[in-house]
């Protein structure tokens, strides 16, 4: 039995004339302990896919199975790192994490909860900022709070929706390593959504492209057979890396071209003579 399984999942937003099928016939299997990355263009339906898996949305047709059971609601077993951090702005860093820990461990004592909050805030190197509010933090720091909040709930599976998309290259690299460290520590299952192929190759066991929507479906999967821990600088000379990277990029470029040619409509321009404002 697969750990997470999507069977013929389709998702349509809106009704009647306004209906658009964003995802069509998605089939995906993730095994326990795997790190899977999904790459895709903006607007192709990645967030929609994530929300189907974490239980915020229900598919129009098809099934999402988590450990063999259909996903009907959100669950503490699946932790989510949202694309736009989604921190509560009126709470401090510590309070944001505290709220999550308290929900995930309802039987824990106050002391245990506080200790756990401090531990996870320290893990993302934010101890000095524990009493700050989100608006006082940089984008990278906010995203780290969001990571701490998701991980402090000790989920079996981590679902990350473009977690590093808005960050600068340096912060991005650091956080990639931090996430990998946490993932490898007790081999949780991870699903990473990204728009950066290199990030996918560096972090995942498997990369699956999402063809652009409407009617987005998953493309062929690419296995990354590179030993862990991976080293960024060495990766550039790794033959396997180069091969996979080129294959994925070629594939994405291919569907990009397809999309362009598919929308090659001829627009008739109205005949207008520009009015001159110069006397």
Partner 1 sequence: MKQSVTVVQDEKGNFGTMVKDFAIKLIPAMPKWNGKTLVRKVLIPLASIILFVGLWHVGAKALYNIEADYKIQKALTDQGQEAADQMAACIASGDVSCQPNTLPSPAQVWTSFNTLIADHKAISADKAEFKAKTAALNATREAEGKAPIVYTGRPSFVDQIFTSLKTVFAGFLLALIIAVPVGVIIGLSTTLRNSFNWLIQIFKPVSPVVWLLLVFMIVKTMTKDSDSDSAFIISFISVGLCAMWATLVNTAMGVATVDKDYINVAKVLKLGPIQKVFKVILPSSLPLIFTGLRITLSVAWMVLIAIELLAQSPGLGSFVWEEFQNGAIDSNSKIIVAMFVIGIIGFLLDRIMLTIQNMVSFNKNATA
Ligand X SMILES: Nc1ncnc2c1ncn2[C@@H]1O[C@H](COP(=O)(O)OP(=O)(O)O)[C@@H](O)[C@H]1O
Task: Evaluate the omega torsion of the peptide bond into residue 217 and state whether it is cis, within 30 degrees of 0.
Answer: no
Among 100, 151, 191, 201, interactor with partner 1 by CB under 8 A: 100
- Backbone angles phi and psi of 194, in degrees to 5: -150, 160
Lookup: tokens for 195: 């728009």
Q: Is 24 in the site for ligand X (CB under 6 A)?
A: no
Residue 28 pairs in a beta bridge with 6
Q: Is 80 in the site for partner 1 (CB under 8 A)?
A: yes
80 binds, among partner 1, ligand X, Mg ion, none (CB under 5 to 8 A by kind): partner 1
Q: Of 35-43, 69-77, 102-110, 227-235, which segment contacts ligand X by CB under 6 A?
A: 35-43
Among 24, 48, 92, 189, interactor with ligand X by CB under 6 A: 48
- Backbone angles phi and psi of 80, in degrees to 5: -120, 135
Q: Is 54 in the site for partner 1 (CB under 8 A)?
A: yes
Residue 191 pairs in a beta bridge with 36, 159
DSSP 8-state assignment for residue 215: S
CB 149 → partner 1: shortest distance, Å? 9
CB 32 within 8 A of CB 83: no
Which 61-90 positions form the footprint of Mg ion (CB under 5 A)?
Answer: 83
Rounded Cα distance between 227 and 141, Å, is 30
Residues lying near ligand X in the complex (CB under 6 A): 13-14, 22, 40, 42-48, 213
Residues lying near partner 1 in the complex (CB under 8 A): 54-56, 74-76, 79-80, 82, 84, 86, 88-91, 99-100, 103-104, 133, 135, 153
């Amino acid at each position: 039995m697969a750990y997470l399984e999507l069977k013929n999942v389709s998702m349509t937003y809106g009704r009647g004339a306004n209906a658009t099928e964003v995802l069509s016939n998605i089939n995906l299997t993730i095994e326990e302990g795997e790190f899977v990355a999904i790459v895709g263009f903006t607007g192709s339906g990645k967030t929609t896919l994530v929300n189907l898996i974490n239980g915020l949305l229900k598919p129009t047709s098809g099934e999402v199975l988590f450990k063999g059971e259909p996903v009907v609601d959100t669950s503490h077993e699946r932790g989510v790192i949202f694309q736009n951090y989604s921190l509560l702005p009126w709470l401090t860093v510590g309070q944001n994490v505290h709220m999550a820990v308290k929900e995930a461990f309802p039987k824990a004592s106050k002391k245990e909860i506080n200790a756990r909050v401090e531990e996870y805030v320290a893990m993302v190197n934010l101890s000095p900022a524990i009493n700050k509010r989100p608006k006082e933090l940089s984008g990278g720091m906010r995203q780290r709070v969001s990571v701490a909040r998701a991980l402090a709930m000790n989920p079996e599976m981590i679902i990350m929706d473009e977690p590093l998309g808005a960050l600068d290259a340096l912060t991005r690299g650091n956080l990639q390593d931090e996430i990998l460290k946490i993932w490898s520590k007790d081999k949780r299952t991870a699903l990473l959504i990204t728009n950066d192929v290199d990030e996918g190759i560096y972090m995942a066991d498997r990369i699956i492209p999402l063809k652009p929507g409407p009617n987005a479906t998953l493309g062929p999967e690419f296995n990354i057979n590179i030993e862990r821990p991976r080293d960024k600088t060495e990766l550039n000379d790794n033959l396997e890396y180069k091969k996979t990277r080129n294959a994925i990029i070629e594939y994405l470029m291919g569907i990009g071209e397809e999309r362009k040619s598919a929308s090659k409509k001829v627009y008739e321009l109205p005949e207008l003579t520009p009015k001159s404002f110069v006397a």
